[in-house]
Amino acid sequence: MRRENKLKQKLREGKTVFGPFMKLSNPAVIEIFAHAGFDFAIIDLEHGPLSVESAENLVRAAELAGITPIIRVTDNEPTKILRALDIGVHGVQVPQVSSRESAELAVKAAKYDPQGERGVCRYVRAADYSAFDKFKYFPAANENTLVLVHIEGLEGVEHLEEILDVPGIDVIFIGPYDLSQSLGLPGQVDHPDVVAKAKEVIEKAAAKKVAVGTFVDTVEAGHKWQELGVQYISYAVDVGILYEASKEIVSKLRKG
């Protein structure tokens, strides 16, 4: 039976949560992240080789190890959001949301009536393959499912006020690299213009009491954005974490 979404509760309590993106399909990796103390892991279907089928085993491993599984879908398409949720993931991150209409589309795809129009099927892992009482499952899914929308360009920033007014959005996720590109500064995530736009998002979301997330790839950046009010901090990517740790070890070994 679907448990209460602990990550959603932590965000409601104003706590800061941390978790990496995942591109590797081995369930051991997500278990390691859980044992290391991360709060969540984002199974990445947008970038990298993972499929919904391989993601399902990552979700199983995450639940057993006590880390909240989130999926970033490839795009804001209802069937893709539906398929991610049907395997039992606890939340979806929807990329490239830039208007009220696209935000409403994401929420409708992730929620059942009366909050949305998610396709109905109880014969899926999310509903314990129909073992979950049908009169309890649908409201439970609506209550526990996290909806995170990515603001990744100037258009999204410009329409942020109306996006924030859409009921059902739990987190506004700032995509710093795409945002930098939309400003003509690809990759320059620390450029003052990029930081200024990100701060604008944080301030407007705080005024509407909506949590904000972002991606960082250094601990220093994590501290900076946490101090600025970001609650949902995605730290790096599994392959990058493995590379950086390996590189540091090899460098120390070669120095004797």
DSSP assignment letter at 111: S
Burial class (CB in 10 A: 0-12, 13-18, 19+), 77: middle
CA distance linking residue 89 with residue 93, whole number of Å: 11
Give the β-pairing of 211-216 and 17-22: unpaired
Q: What are phi and psi of 99, to 5 degrees?
A: -155, 165
H-state helical runs in 4-97: 6-12, 27-36, 52-65, 78-86
Nearest in space to 10 (alpha carbons), one of 219, 205, 148, 211: 211
Query: Has 159 been annotated as catalytic?
Result: no
Question: Is 173 within 8 Å of 151 (Cβ atoms)?
Answer: yes
Sign of the torsion angle spanned by Cα atoms 39, 43, 47, 50:
positive
Query: Which of these is catalytic: 47, 159, 191, 223?
Result: 47
Both tokens assigned to 31: 């278990």
Question: Is 69 within 8 Å of 30 (Cβ atoms)?
Answer: yes
**Phi and psi based region of residue 184 (left: phi greater than 0; alpha: psi -120 to 50; beta: remaining):** left
How many CB atoms are closer than 10 A to CB 120?
12
CA distance linking residue 177 with residue 188, whole number of Å: 7
Residues catalogued as catalytic: 47
